[in-house]
A and B are shown apart, each in its own frame.
Chain A
């Protein structure tokens, strides 16, 4: 359903609708933009993101994917994430958690939740940042000395809580 928004007048209509809800316009605009970027593969191709559910009108629940950087222990693995953009996004940073199990400093071992304080993009969030920025920073963290050799759980495991 949202594909239609990308292609024309419908978008305008919808935005008008949202405009009545005030604050939401900038948020939805932003998120729509991010949706489009995700679909067009903006960036270097090492991260990907998109709506978890195409029918999600609130554009809240997103899915991300990080391709493990080469020459690290994360190499050749794909890490799936859930990103939640709350109502105050982009003024407030999104909640990020890993779905694929990972051993990375700043990510809770038990549930994959990313510690806001550990990721500078989240800790020092600016409204010009985006989901892509967060994903890319997480990928950079994987390349840090302190992380790049951490032993990892077997491939394919996911957090269940």
Chain B
């Protein structure tokens, strides 16, 4: 009996066993991509036993070890014999550092080169991070739209007067924008205005109740009114609304519950029943808007009345008091196309109601108008003056504007937080300056009456269009006509043209490269008001022309007769005449 001296505990115990049972020890090489060890083990060992030895030698946990031999992974229950592992053969080892960590084979081995573990650990640090962040990232991205779409649908029903498909598109786009950036969502939620709203359950309830469509809904589904009357539930919902992450979690749970429900025998039928009872009236009410979106409503509304938690989701919905800044972003989130696009975040859902406000806010921004959604919206509005009227007649609209007018700072801030404006500081600046004035004008009953007067709106739009045509046909002829469209809505549209009549000469005399800030602001403001009045706009194109009017005149005076080229150069150089001249000279052979 050859008992070893006991220096090698592995062999020791094995030898003892060996002596007792007369089995064969074999030496198997265990190889990692960076290291190699020879391990003695009993021939008829199981893979599990083999791993025990390996775990000791390589200083790794059992569940981190993956053994490969001859192209096959060795399972713990197998035996070495089974795989033909014999003395002198090599088994490959992979050590996993963590479930999603680096190629563990080297990182765990203390004997291996020191450089490797660091390299591995850094990559392991990086790989879990993207992995970790992806699920949450996709979570919010995926979950929120569903919720919002549910809201969006409801909002479409809620007869904001926004019975326009285009508006829903707008909502969708905004929502998508919002949803693709969870931080925006939390920003919005952090907005004090939103939070104020949320913390006033009575107000919310009132808003919900006064909505005629909602009333209809409540008649048909008493559970909803019951829910509204339950303060506890409302509070819960608002808490939930405040916390987008929680909202998403809830949505996820509900989706899971929903799918569970499906799998229960008879569950599918129950779902379908719910769907028909609840969904269809809503659907028919807003048929045109859903279009390809039956699931959005499904996702949001399906369980209304069945599970309070589901119905709760509608609670935060009617928040017309969502700040204007948030409104556009949220109001764009309607019936997104798939169930998977569920969304969290009440703010988006909330503002699905405050669409009017959304329009207001977005009406203030050039950048916003350049978005196709906005333009289609404006088109829609111009085509359907009734829309505007409905919008304005919404009761909360007035009070909202009042409160905004009283607190312009808050409004500006709210709007600035609007993700749409996030990337455009210049726009924000302009907004900040013009917000008070704008709000004043919105308060002006005359302005409102103009906006609600369909004929007046049409006339405004015609003028707008005429100006645009003129712009394109004879650029520079009436540079400030476009922006100077409407100094104030109350003033007649005709009057807006006259005062701006003779600007070119006077402006031309001003050698300064930039239009004075106040002038710029005024122009911008006028543009915005005009846009608000309705009409697809190409404000972006107008502004540079207007801004560079003086420079253009100078350039033509210097002999640069190609007005188009001049304008391009000025746009490229941002109004710097000298640089523009350089550009022009550089591009011309002369």
Q: Which residues of A contact B (CB under 8 A)?
A: 2-3, 35, 38-41, 44-46, 48-52, 54, 62-65, 67-71, 75-76, 78, 80-81
Contact = CB atoms under 8 A, between A and B. Distances in A.
Chain B CB within 10 Å, residue with most, of A3, A51, A63, A75: A75
B89 interface: yes
Given A40-B90, A41-B89, A67-B94, A48 B70 contact: yes
Contacts of B509: none
B540 interface: no
B268 interface: no
A65 B71 contact: yes
B521 interface: no
Contacts of B120: 70
A46 B33 contact: yes
A41 B91 contact: yes
The dominant DSSP class at the A interface is mixed
Contacts of B86: 3
A71 B123 contact: yes
Chain A CB within 10 Å, residue with most, of B72, B101, B104: B72
Contacts of A68: 103
B79 interface: no
A130 to B, nearest CB: 13
B32 A45 contact: yes
A50 B90 contact: no
Contacts of A41: 29, 31, 89-92
B68 A3 contact: no
A140 B183 CA distance: 39
Contact of A76 (B36, B71, B100): B100
Interface residues of B, number: 32
21 contacts: A35-B70, A38-B71, A39-B89, A41-B92, A45-B33, A48-B69, A48-B70, A48-B71, A48-B72, A50-B69, A50-B71, A50-B72, A50-B84, A51-B70, A63-B71, A65-B92, A67-B33, A70-B103, A70-B120, A75-B102, A78-B94
A63 B84 CA distance: 14
Contacts of A54: 84
Contacts of A38: 70-71
A78 B96 CA distance: 11
Given A3-B84, A48-B71, A75 B103 contact: yes
B31 A50 contact: no
Interface string B91-110: 11010110011111100000
